[in-house]
Amino acid sequence: MLEGIGGLIVLVLDIFAIISILGSGASTGSKVIWVLLILLLPLLGFIIWLIAGPKKA
């Protein structure tokens, strides 16, 4: 049961990150790369985005 809650939290955080990326002022290519990183590596991608990702416009 704990794994399911953890997975749900990661999913919500990833959705938040993707929405934030799409609303950022980054170039289209950069947005695509960030979204792919988060989709392919959900937890690690979110952490990397949190540290170095594009900021909101």
pLDDT digits (tens, 9 = 90+) for 7-43: 999 999 999 999 999 999 999 999 999 999 999 999 9
pLDDT for position 3: 85
Q: Where are the domains of the chain?
A: 25-57
Spatial separation of the C-alpha atoms in residues 34 and 2, rounded to whole Å: 28
Q: Where are the alpha helices (DSSP H) in the chain?
A: 2-22, 28-40, 42-52
pLDDT confidence bin for 1, thresholds 50/70/90? confident
